[in-house]
Structure 1
């Protein structure tokens, strides 16, 4: 995670005011929107961590997605220097909160995805690397750490139909989507499989004899819980 924050900080350091206003790789978002999201995402996770370490559960956003979206819109128009300063400050605050956690603290519950504090580290890891690609200033899925790509595949498997099998040729790893009969086998490099599942452009598209299956929605937040009797 520290490596991801360092890469993000170096990437932001080279951005000009003009680049910040230009379109990102996400439809309808400028690079400023992506930076605003990455900055506020760090602030939100720090908020969850601070409360979790006190044994408290709070929502990431009291106002839900409307508050999240409003913050992004309100801060997207910052100058490059303002974006850098805010991003660095909130990443440092998040890392400081995590640094205070001991082995027991990582299992403390948080409202984000009905998970625990440890899960927010992995979530931030995904956010940082995936959105660095969206900034469209030189970082590609090929730059993702292999472990990040493998983790992202596991997180995003729910986007695939039951019975789908993934085979990463370069990493000698396989994943299967349970709950159905054997289905499509998708083959590719681990980073390309991760990029495809994340809705980003892989360097070399994965392949399947029957054609690539359609991707379902991103895993819901919070996850759907099974009905209880």
Structure 2
């Protein structure tokens, strides 16, 4: 089975409810037991406390649940009320709550979203939603990203080195949109087959080879610090890692 076939199997919609359930449990277990000081402490994301990260995750879960509720009625609804301004206000508001209230509400939001996706079957995966003008499957993949990445953003027991291989390979696919025009990036995860990412068509003017652990390459593509370090070369010479384009989402630039 080649890499493309493996990724198609890994990201089959029938596998997504289990992946969401696992990711939800991991995030909630990571956040469990946080006290006021720990929640107010800085997260891995610049300028965001752990409370802000969890408030954001809660908001995404509630927004995605609403997407599916409307989709079941054959309707669509904006992901966030009042767009990015509404999103930011809700994060601020949620992050100011008492710790017990915030963790309880987070648990409710994550559990509800996971349960809603667990009930999706058959052609329902292709039902349209407003999020990124996509489908219910796209929404599940987005929630998977949010739960896995932000669990490591808390800077507690989980890091990007805990991301499983299936998730890392999925990020390669999704984050190819971050590759700048005219550049091909040949990813060489240690012990795995290389893969070249290229945004757009035409012959690239430059090819950069990025070598390192699979999880470190995925973390770099996701805008996180590679914990084990990466090596970049172009025409056999050492170079800096390329500057990547913004995260491919207008509504959630932090991931």
TM-score by length of 1: 0.91
Deviation at 1:32, TM superposition (A): 0.6
8 Å Cα contact 1:32-1:78 kept in structure 2: no
The alignment partner of 2:210 has SS state of: strand
8 Å Cα contact 1:24-1:135 kept in structure 2: yes
Deviation at 1:208, TM superposition (A): 1.5
1:52-131 matched pairs, under 5 angstroms: 52-131=71-150
Partner of 1:169: 190
The alignment partner of 2:219 has SS state of: helix
Deviation at 1:173, TM superposition (A): 4.7
Q: Which has the higher strand share?
A: 2
Greater shift in the superposed pair: 55-64 or 162-171: 162-171
Distance (whole Å) between structure 1 residues aligned to residue 78 and residue 71 of structure 2: 11
8 Å Cα contact 1:38-1:128 kept in structure 2: yes
Deviation at 1:104, TM superposition (A): 0.8
Q: Which runs of 5+ in 1 are unaligned?
A: 223-229
What are the Cα deviations for residues 76-134 of structure 1, in whole angstroms up to 9, with x where unaligned? 02233212211111112212222332211100011111110011111111111111121
Runs of 4+ in 1 over 4 A off after TM superposition: none
TM-score by length of 2: 0.82
- Kindly report the root-mean-square deviation, in angstroms, between the aligned alpha carbons of the 2 structures: 1.6
What are the Cα deviations for residues 36-75 of structure 1, in whole angstroms up to 9, with x where unaligned? 0011110000000111111111111130000000000011
The answer to whether structure 1 residue 193 and structure 2 residue 217 are counterparts is yes
Distance (whole Å) between structure 2 residues aligned to residue 220 and residue 74 of structure 1: 23
Partner of 1:225: none
1:144-155 matched pairs, under 5 angstroms: 144-155=163-174
Distance (whole Å) between structure 1 residues aligned to residue 81 and residue 41 of structure 2: 31
Q: Which runs of 5+ in 2 are unaligned?
A: 1-19
8 Å Cα contact 1:164-1:186 kept in structure 2: yes
Corresponding pairs, count: 222
Partner of 1:11: 30
